[in-house]
């Protein structure tokens, strides 16, 4: 937040009427400056990265990138007020005081309440627990439909059903899809929890396989086997991994 205590704010919503209404509400406050408006998640990532605002008022359900995915791609995200028409994303936001959660349609008074909340938090310079909020608010989908991989200034969006297999590489995972490999800084265990357990199986401590890609399984050693994928890739299967596969194949 700058010396004049003006909150530099970015509006992110794919619907123009929603952006217009927010602009109307925000311009009536002298402690808010609208630094940018974005109509999609990719533009939001770019604006948040380049402008480093104090606050983002962020829609959740947007095409290509949703609100949670936008935050995933931004280092050190700002304070966030989520604004959405979907109440199933839950309502623990009020308790955390770092961000707020507005259910559309909301009034100017309700928005002012959220903005006052943010102003107090920024003034005290307390950390903004974005991850804690999104986890508590249930914003992560139960089953991951796509994986985002940041590659410099580019973002690769990989549909989950296009993934062939995933391998652990130190602090990264290598996601193999359609003949390409994408490195993502994420723990294998965390990614495993978000993938559809009916389609993806962790067959070894270092690999997860899409069941649809398995061509056959061969004996490799006394307590282990080898998965041969349809593209010829060979992946080691542990005894525990084979026990899981037997129940599913």
Predicted confidence at residue 138, as pLDDT, reads 52
Rounded to 5°, the CA angle 145-150-151 comes to 135
Token output for 145: 């439909």
Domain extents for the chain? 7-136, 146-248
Q: What angle do CA 90, 75, 133 make, to 5 degrees?
A: 20
The confidence score (pLDDT) of residue 127 equals 58
Query: Look-up: residue for tokens 């123009």?
Result: 16
Q: Give the pLDDT band (50/70/90) at residue 168.
A: very high
Specify whether the CB–CB gap between 1 and 33 falls below 8 A.
Answer: no
List CB contacts of 232: < 8 A, sequence separation 6 or more.
Answer: none
Condensed to tens digits (0 to 9), the pLDDT of residues 3-54 reads: 458 999 999 999 999 999 999 999 999 999 999 999 999 999 999 999 999 9
* Residue of 41 and 123 predicted with greater confidence: 41
Statement: residue 139 has pLDDT above 70: no
Q: 133 pLDDT band (50/70/90 cuts)?
A: low
Q: What is the pLDDT of residue 34?
A: 98
Pairing of strands 214-221, 55-59: unpaired
Q: Which CATH superfamily is domain 7-136 in?
A: Response regulator (3.40.50.2300)
pLDDT at 130 over 70: no
Q: What is the pLDDT of residue 131?
A: 58
List, in order, residues 6 or more apart from 156 with CB less than 8 Å away: 148, 149, 182
The two three-digit tokens of residue 156, written as one number: 């690769």
- Averaged confidence pLDDT in the chain: 86
Mean pLDDT, rounded, for 167-172: 91
Q: What is the pLDDT of residue 97?
A: 39
List pLDDT tens digits, range 172-212: 999 999 999 999 988 999 899 889 999 999 999 999 999 99
Residue 228 has pLDDT above 80, yes or no: yes
pLDDT, tens digit (0-9, with 9 covering 90-100), for 65-97: 888 888 888 888 898 898 888 665 544 444 433
Q: What is the pTM of this model?
A: 0.74
Fold exhibited by the domain 146-248: OB fold (Dihydrolipoamide Acetyltransferase, E2P) (2.40.50)
Asked if 45 contacts 68 with a C-beta cutoff of 8 angstroms, the reply is no
d(CA 238, CA 242): 6
């Amino acid at each position: 937040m700058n010396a004049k205590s003006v909150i530099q704010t970015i509006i992110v919503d794919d619907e123009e009427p929603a952006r217009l209404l927010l602009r109307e509400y925000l311009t009536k406050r002298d402690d808010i400056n609208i630094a940018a408006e974005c109509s999609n998640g990719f533009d939001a990532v770019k604006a948040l990265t380049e402008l480093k605002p104090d606050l983002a008022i962020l829609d959740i359900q947007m095409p290509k990138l949703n609100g949670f995915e936008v935050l995933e791609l931004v280092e050190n995200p700002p304070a966030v007020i989520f604004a959405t028409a979907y109440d199933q994303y839950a309502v623990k936001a009020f308790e955390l005081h770092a961000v707020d959660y507005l259910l559309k349609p909301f009034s100017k008074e309700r928005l002012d309440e959220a903005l006052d909340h943010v102003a107090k938090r920024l003034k005290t310079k307390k950390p903004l627990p974005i991850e804690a909020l999104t986890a508590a608010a249930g914003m992560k989908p139960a089953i991951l439909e796509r994986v985002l991989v940041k590659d410099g200034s580019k973002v690769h969006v990989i549909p989950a059903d296009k993934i062939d297999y995933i391998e652990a590489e130190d602090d990264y995972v290598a996601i193999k899809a359609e003949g390409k490999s994408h490195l993502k800084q994420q723990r294998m265990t965390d990614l495993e929890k978000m993938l559809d357990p009916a389609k993806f199986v962790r067959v070894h401590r270092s690999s997860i396989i899409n069941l649809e890609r398995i061509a056959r399984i061969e004996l490799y050693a006394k307590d282990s086997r080898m998965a041969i994928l349809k593209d010829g890739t060979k992946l080691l299967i542990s005894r525990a991994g084979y026990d899981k596969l037997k129940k599913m194949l």
